[in-house]
Amino acid sequence: MDQNFLEEEPKEMSFVDHLEELRWHLIRAVASILIFSIIAFLAKSFVFHDIILAPARTDFLSYRIMCDLGNALGMEAFCIDELGFTIQSRQMSGQLSMHMLVSVVIGLACAFPYAFWEIWRFVSPGLYDQERKSSRGAVFFVSVLFIMGLLFGYYVVSPISINFLAGYQVDPSIVNEFDLNSYISTLTTLCLSCAFMFQLPVIVYFFTKAGLLSPEIMKLYRRHAVIVILVVGAIITPPDVISQLLISIPLMLLYEVSIIVSRSIRNSDLKKLNQNNTI
């Protein structure tokens, strides 16, 4: 038989080959973050005036929506006429270091879907065919939940937290003058925390598929989960009850949604198992 017609068996990748492939996936992921970071660094005026410092002004979209809602309900307290604080930079290199930090954070946020897709391209070939079919659309759902969490943190949690902390005084003689580092750290922590914590349904999905989690277990430990959520909310938010509740309540809702996801996955697996047994 002619050797040209012989089919060569695919060669298995060695450990070094896997490391090399992982290296290039990571390089492309980091490169995407770097590209968006450079773009954000060059767009300094837009990034800081229209994004970072926007929640510190009364014309911010969330404040205007709250005011319109207050007017509709006849509650003038919803309107925020002024934010009683100023932002200062007290370090020589403070503005430059914050400029670089913000650029990296925005680069990470913008490049996250692509970076996750690169990592997923490395992981997915190692899955079984059934696992690969079950995880179809993972990049889409992870990206959507990340963006939803980021927007929720930016438009809901951050402005309410900033307004509460700006108006809190132990004595009228004390003026709130926040350092730029403190303001940006609070804003980025709230936004990124919401973005990553919105991944809970995806985590529950994969844990259920792996047989490590079930809706019965999640229901049994619901009270424990509520305590953990409150503790996590207290850790990642400023020390005020409003911010903690704004983080904790959506997480509790996501936990209930995750129970539904876990139940649907378990029922789907049982249905397929029964069909295979019937055949």
Whole-prediction pTM: 0.81
Higher pLDDT, 192 or 231: 192
Whether the Cβ atoms of residue 255 and residue 223 lie closer than 8 Å to each other:
no
| 136 SS3 class | coil
DSSP assignment letter at 90: -
**Quick one: how far is CA 94 from the chain centroid?**
26
pLDDT computed for residue 6 by the predictor: 46
3-52 pLDDT, tens digit per residue, is: 454 444 445 666 677 688 888 889 999 999 999 999 999 999 999 999 99
Gap between the Cα atoms of 162 and 234, Å rounded: 16
As a whole number, mean pLDDT of residues 76-88 equals: 78
156 Cβ partners below 8 Å, 6+ apart? 62, 246
**Three-state secondary structure call for residue 103:** helix
Residue 49 buriedness (CB in 10 A; 0-12 / 13-18 / 19+)? exposed
pLDDT-wise least confident of 80-84, 248-252, 253-257, 262-266: 80-84
Averaged pLDDT for residues 238-267: 79
- Distance, CA of 199 to CA of 189 (rounded, Å): 16
Ranges assigned E (strand) in 14-133: 86-88
The DSSP string of 174-238 is ---EEEHHHHHHHHHHHHHHHHHHTTHHHHHHHHHHTTS--HHHHHHTHHHHHHHHHHHHHHHS-
Helix, strand, coil shares, percent, the chain, to 5: 75, 0, 20
Q: What residue type is assigned to position 15 of the chain? A: F
Per-residue pLDDT for 244 more than 80? no
Tell me the per-residue pLDDT of 108-144, one tens digit each, with 9 for 90 and over: 999 999 999 999 888 877 766 766 776 778 889 899 9
- The pLDDT of residue 1 is 46
pLDDT of residue 240: 61
pLDDT tens, position by position, 153-208: 999 888 888 887 777 777 778 888 889 998 998 899 889 988 988 888 888 888 88
Q: Which residue do the tokens 């003038």 mark?
A: 76
Distance of alpha carbon 244 from alpha carbon 236, whole angstroms = 8
Q: What pLDDT is stored for residue 238 in this prediction?
A: 59
Residue with tokens 């492939």: 21
